[in-house]
Structure 1
Amino acid sequence: MRNIISFKFNPSKLRLNKFIDFYGYCEQLEQNIYVYGKTEAHKIHRLSELLSFILFTRDEECLIVIEGKGISQTKEYISKNMSEVLSA
């Protein structure tokens, strides 16, 4: 089974509270989160880094990559709770 998934998202259409919950979910499963814009990429170590990326990126489409155990559960969580995220 693959231990990595990726999703495209539009930062301007996201609700921050959903991304805060998402970060907590991934942190609980000890998963790594990476975000990619057109000109920047970040491995997320803290919630503030994720929120800063979402708030300050000017890209209309970005990519988030999640790596670690429990990926199938995370994919299901995203599908149910974050309809703004499109599968890549």
Structure 2
Amino acid sequence: MRNVISFKFSPAKLRLNKFIDFYSYCKQWEQNIYVYGKNEAHKVHRLSELLSFVLFSHDEECLIVIEGSGINETKDYISKHLSEVLSA
């Protein structure tokens, strides 16, 4: 059974080192990551794609969708490490 969660995030408030750790955490669970802005959407295959999206996004808010197992653990991780950036 696949589980999905989504969060809004503000690229302007983002600390890259925390987001890199977040990407690594999701990859440990083999989760799929999708990012959505106003005019674009991407399935993230590599860290460089995620960072490019975040660095060059001019949107005030974007959406990140995470799909896969371990979703409850990922929610806990986000609450502890990225609460200032991501919101449900």
Residue 39 of structure 1, CA deviation: 0.3
User: Is this contact kept in 1: 2:2–2:67, CA < 8 A?
Assistant: no
Aligned pairs for 1:22-33 (under 5 A) are: 22-33=22-33
Residue 45 of structure 1, CA deviation: 0.1
> How many aligned positions are there?
87
Deviation per CA, 1:19-72: give whole Å up to 9, x if none. 000000000100000000000000000000000000000000000000000000
C-alpha RMSD of the superposition: 1.1
Q: What TM-score comes out, normalization by structure 2 length?
A: 0.96
2:87 equivalent in structure 1 = 86
Q: How many Å separate the matches in 2 of 1:78 and 1:14?
A: 13
2:40 equivalent in structure 1 = 40
1:9 equivalent in structure 2 = 9
Q: How many Å separate the matches in 2 of 1:26 and 1:2?
A: 14
Q: What TM-score comes out, normalization by structure 1 length?
A: 0.96
Runs of 4 or more above 2 Å deviation: none
Residue 2 of structure 1, CA deviation: 6.4
Where in structure 2 are there 5+ consecutive unaligned residues? none
1:59 equivalent in structure 2 = 59
Question: What SS does the corresponding residue of 2:66 show, helix, strand or coil?
Answer: strand
Percent identical across equivalent pairs? 76
